Homo-oligomer: A and B are copies of this chain.
């Protein structure tokens, strides 16, 4: 626990130093959101129907882009190699990475959701549903993208390989999250979908950190 908090502090310090790290994903999110209506056409009705999908795809892409460099620096500097050699501190390190990743990308998206609703013409219940799905879904997104980053850290080509590994895992999330928002937008209940999202969150929380640790070990040996 002490280790975790020191490591988390380190990550947060890195984020504070490189403000671009958390500002840019947010801006990217907004930019992608503005691209869609442009490419697809500005009819408000149309937009309202597409909104859930768009929000979630934009969220995915911004988290994905942020994840790419997650372990790169520490890998290149030999930090990870030496952590693996020293064994015990790897798990808290990974947990700190995951937490920091969520704090810097998931949380801002969550806070942005009212603005998004405004841009995409969303109302009452949909807005609520979107915020809820983001609350439960972005941690899963962070977990998955850290997993992808861990798996691909020593791969010759990070970015896109990462996307490939993560996207398939991410599809169930996308389906349930946008289904929830859609249900809300036509006035139906959406507790079912939310429950599934919760389950996905707990499930990945239990499994992913261990998987990341072993991925890192494999990557340095």
Contacts and interface: CB of A to CB of B under 8 A. Distances in A.
A126 interface: no
Interface in A52-78: 52-54, 56-57, 60-62, 65-66, 68-69
A20 B156 contact: yes
Interface string A21-45: 1001101100110011011110000
Contacts of A18: 156-157
A60 B155 CA distance: 23
A86 interface: no
A175 interface: yes
A40 B53 contact: yes
Considering residues A28, A60, A66, which has the most beta carbons from chain B within 10 angstroms of its beta carbon?
A28
A199 interface: no
Interface residues of A, number: 46
Contacts of A147: none
A158 B39 contact: no
A175 B21 CA distance: 29
A189 interface: no
A50 interface: yes
A163 B40 contact: no
B161 A24 contact: yes
A119 interface: no
A169 B176 CA distance: 34
A6 interface: no
